Chains A and B, each alone.
Chain A
Amino acid sequence: MIRLTGVELRRLVARRLVMLGVAAVLGVTVLMLAAAWWNSRPLSAEDQQQAKAQFETAHADWVKNHEKYDKECRDSYASQPDPKPPVEEMCNYTEPTLDQWGKPQTVFTEVMPELLQGSSYLLAFAAFLIGASFVGAEFSSGSIGNWLTFEPRRMRVYASKLAAVAIGMVPVVVVTLAILLAGTYLIVAELGVTAGTTGKVWGNLLETSGRAMVVVAVAGAVGGVLALLLRHTAAAIGVIMGYVVLVEAVFGSILAQVQPWLVRLNFDAWLKHGTTYYVQNCKSTPEGYYNCESIEKSLSFEHGAWYLGIGTVLLLALGAFVFQRRDVT
């Protein structure tokens, strides 16, 4: 079994399509870093000059008038309509600072989780394609029949192929996310704010990366199983695309309540250790108005973990059952 997995890994690495896929993932990662750099770039000297001028005007105004404004505010507080914030909050004229003008600075702890999430989607998709083509190629070329005359124990053959895809994705995830984390940190350290990036923040980012690694490895294996069930790479990709568009995107947006049972939200819940979504809550008021409001709901990490876990196990079992019994011609 270990030997077979080793052979399958060697085949995985020797496939040109796999190498192209990995290169594409790294290419997109570099683009993401370029976008992060672009977004955290400081303003041009001219724009900075303008921001500074506006700040100075505002500051001069404050120096001259803040005591007057304060007094006016407190005097009129009593006549303001309820409800109103407490007086200290309402009549608080603090000294303006320069960073309130111009472009807000990029904060590492804010942008990094989003980048990680985007990169995980990309990696999972790439893993699915790699897994599907790795297994699909054997069925469409017919070489699986030849392979089985060398190793007739089908469960070993099945397990070794999926294990190879899953294991093969691990270094891809590690390298990609390491580049993304380190690259973004260096860019933001240079151009933005990295303050507050405590050990705990790093710990959370690493945990998210670890969960991304697991889900990407699973996506590779799922690609393999689908290609095995459908006997074709293209069929597996077509089915998943159709599912994503019709069920996840169209159906999910028409009927927001079903989102907790769709893959995407559970993927987020797993990756981000819990996530939120919105549903419209509409009702008729006693006055006869029909009102809708958006309510935020949350989906727990456990929900995502169980959903993805059970789905994966069922799919793997179905693949094993079909492959064990299938006539290979």
Chain B
Amino acid sequence: MTDLAISTRGLRKTYRTRRGKRVVAVQGLDLDVPVGGVHGFLGPNGSGKTTSIRMLLGLIRADAGAMALFGRPVPEHLPEVVSRVGAIVESPKFFPAFTGRKNLELLADAIGAPRRRVGEVLEETSLGERGKDRFKTYSLGMKQRLAIAATLLKEPDLLIFDEPTNGLDPAGIREIRETMRSLGEQGRTVLVSSHILAEVEQVADTVSIIGHGRLLASGPVSEVIGGTGKTTVKLVIDDREAATSVLTAAGLTVRAEGNYLVVDGAPDPADITRRLAQRELYVAELVPVRADLESVFLELTADEGLAAGDGTIGGQR
């Protein structure tokens, strides 16, 4: 149990909107995040990522289920473990009229961290001189970095970042990615939520994919995303009809998409070029299609024999 940084069982949360409508945000989530490394927490918009994170941090109450951080049940024992957990939930929120430094000083004082930590974390997040400016004058990227600086005040073992690259430019995204990587390499645990697979794929060691508030898949990135062991490629070829019949005969799925033929189910791209070349059909262009979250998600839900829009997706672990 203690080799898990985060673990939840049967976690549920239903929101009641102003008009009395009920929204099931999380329904029976079983999530396990191992200690150490970067763990991607993936799911489309509205799948309950932020809600789950808020429950873990004691910001909102779970309706049912159990949660633990480093093996300690929360929210009951949250005060004991909170010093090991740094979190940014959605957009960074600080006192707008105070400087970045003042904001950090107040937080440092609240947890009894030495004041020098403030200078250190400002340097670590390359905010150094900008710490003297008011928070409201910061760019989105700087706000994000200040939020990371705040989480580092505690020197945490677990960092929870909820969509940390939202609204950042490519340079900002890369910076955050490198920060997460290096935190993971220092032996800390980083949970990063996102709805963009490509972004998480580059930093995460393990991932969990959720949909409609339930776990759909979990494990090392390569296993979950390349889980089927099959590749999809797009190719350009002169004689599309001949190529289609050759590949279909080999048991692959082929469909036309604009100028391309999209081929599913090949063990690897070389297998396709070899089969076509044997019939003297030569490929002009071949692009392996990387699985995106949408297709993995659709595939995962299809495996369950349920449509993605159906609120009763079963879990698969």
In the complex, the answer to whether A152 meets B106 with C-beta atoms within 8 Å is no
Instruction: Name the interface residues of B92-124: CB closer than 8 Å to any CB of A.
Output: 92-98, 102, 106-107, 109-112
Tell me how far the C-beta of A147 lies from the nearest C-beta in chain B, rounded to whole angstroms: 7
Residues of the B chain whose Cβ atoms lie less than 8 Å from the Cβ of A150: 82, 107, 110-111, 154
A3 within 8 A of B: yes
In the complex, the answer to whether A325 meets B61 with C-beta atoms within 8 Å is yes
Whole-angstrom CA separation of A328 from B87 in the bound complex: 14
Residues of the A chain whose Cβ atoms lie less than 8 Å from the Cβ of B72: none
In the complex, the answer to whether A149 meets B106 with C-beta atoms within 8 Å is no
Whole-angstrom CA separation of A249 from B195 in the bound complex: 56
Tell me how far the C-beta of B214 lies from the nearest C-beta in chain A, rounded to whole angstroms: 21
**Complex interface: stretch among A4-12, A86-94, A283-291:** A4-12
Instruction: Name the interface residues of A1-56: CB closer than 8 Å to any CB of B.
Output: 3-4, 6-7, 10-11, 14-16
In the complex, the answer to whether B109 meets A6 with C-beta atoms within 8 Å is yes
Whole-angstrom CA separation of A327 from B58 in the bound complex: 9
Whole-angstrom CA separation of A3 from B150 in the bound complex: 18
Tell me how far the C-beta of A51 lies from the nearest C-beta in chain B, rounded to whole angstroms: 58
Nearest residue (CB) in B for A143 is B93
Residues of the B chain whose Cβ atoms lie less than 8 Å from the Cβ of A10: 106, 109
Task: From A7, A10, A325, name the one whose CB has the most chain B CB atoms within 10 angstroms.
Answer: A7
Candidates B82, B94, B109; contact of A146 at CB < 8 Å: B94
In the complex, the answer to whether B59 meets A151 with C-beta atoms within 8 Å is no
Whole-angstrom CA separation of A11 from B110 in the bound complex: 11
Candidates B60, B96, B109, B154; contact of A327 at CB < 8 Å: B60
Candidates B59, B107, B111; contact of A328 at CB < 8 Å: B59
Tell me how far the C-beta of A137 lies from the nearest C-beta in chain B, rounded to whole angstroms: 7
Instruction: Name the interface residues of A143-199: CB closer than 8 Å to any CB of B.
Output: 143, 145-153
Tell me how far the C-beta of B22 lies from the nearest C-beta in chain A, rounded to whole angstroms: 14
Residues of the A chain whose Cβ atoms lie less than 8 Å from the Cβ of B82: 149-152
Given contacts A141-B93, A145-B59, A146-B150, contact A14 B102 (CB under 8 A): yes
A142 within 8 A of B: yes
B78 within 8 A of A: yes
In the complex, the answer to whether B58 meets A3 with C-beta atoms within 8 Å is no
In the complex, the answer to whether A14 meets B109 with C-beta atoms within 8 Å is no
In the complex, the answer to whether B106 meets A145 with C-beta atoms within 8 Å is no
B54 within 8 A of A: yes
Residues of the B chain whose Cβ atoms lie less than 8 Å from the Cβ of A80: none
Whole-angstrom CA separation of A146 from B110 in the bound complex: 12
Residues of the B chain whose Cβ atoms lie less than 8 Å from the Cβ of A148: 57-59
Given contacts A149-B82, A152-B82, contact A141 B95 (CB under 8 A): yes
In the complex, the answer to whether B110 meets A143 with C-beta atoms within 8 Å is no
Residues of the B chain whose Cβ atoms lie less than 8 Å from the Cβ of A11: 95, 106
Nearest residue (CB) in B for A327 is B60
In the complex, the answer to whether B110 meets A329 with C-beta atoms within 8 Å is no
Candidates B59, B79, B87, B110; contact of A4 at CB < 8 Å: B110
Tell me how far the C-beta of B5 lies from the nearest C-beta in chain A, rounded to whole angstroms: 16
In the complex, the answer to whether B110 meets A149 with C-beta atoms within 8 Å is no
Instruction: Name the interface residues of B264-315: CB closer than 8 Å to any CB of A.
Output: none
Candidates B94, B107, B110; contact of A3 at CB < 8 Å: B110
Nearest residue (CB) in B for A328 is B59
Nearest residue (CB) in A for B57 is A149
Nearest residue (CB) in A for B81 is A152
Task: From B85, B92, B110, name the one whose CB has the most chain A CB atoms within 10 angstroms.
Answer: B110
Given contacts A14-B98, A327-B59, contact A7 B93 (CB under 8 A): no
Residues of the A chain whose Cβ atoms lie less than 8 Å from the Cβ of B97: 15-16
Nearest residue (CB) in A for B59 is A328
Candidates A142, A147, A152, A328; contact of B60 at CB < 8 Å: A328
Candidates A4, A15, A142; contact of B93 at CB < 8 Å: A142
In the complex, the answer to whether A329 meets B60 with C-beta atoms within 8 Å is yes
Residues of the B chain whose Cβ atoms lie less than 8 Å from the Cβ of A147: 107, 110
Given contacts A152-B82, A329-B60, contact A143 B94 (CB under 8 A): yes
Whole-angstrom CA separation of A146 from B86 in the bound complex: 10
Candidates B98, B110, B154; contact of A7 at CB < 8 Å: B110
Q: How would residues 111 to 155 of chain B score, 1 for a CB under 8 Å from any chain A CB and 0 otherwise?
A: 110000000000000000000000000000000000100100010
Tell me how far the C-beta of B109 lies from the nearest C-beta in chain A, rounded to whole angstroms: 5
Tell me how far the C-beta of B61 lies from the nearest C-beta in chain A, rounded to whole angstroms: 6
Whole-angstrom CA separation of A153 from B102 in the bound complex: 23
In the complex, the answer to whether B57 meets A152 with C-beta atoms within 8 Å is yes
Q: How would residues 59 to 100 of chain B score, 1 for a CB under 8 Å from any chain A CB and 0 otherwise?
A: 111000000000000010011001001110100111111100
Residues of the B chain whose Cβ atoms lie less than 8 Å from the Cβ of A327: 54, 59-61
Whole-angstrom CA separation of A328 from B93 in the bound complex: 13
Tell me how far the C-beta of B95 lies from the nearest C-beta in chain A, rounded to whole angstroms: 6
- The chain A residues found within 8 Å of chain B, CB to CB, are 3-4, 6-7, 10-11, 14-16, 137-138, 141-143, 145-153, 325, 327-329
Known: A151-B111, A153-B79. 9 other contacts (CB 8 A): A3-B109, A4-B110, A7-B109, A14-B102, A141-B95, A145-B59, A149-B82, A152-B79, A329-B54
In the A-B complex, list the 9 residue pairs whose CB atoms are closest, starting with the nearest. A142-B93, A327-B60, A7-B109, A328-B59, A152-B78, A152-B58, A143-B93, A7-B110, A149-B87
Between-chain CB contacts (< 8 Å), 9 pairs: A3-B109, A141-B93, A142-B93, A146-B93, A146-B107, A149-B57, A149-B82, A152-B57, A152-B79
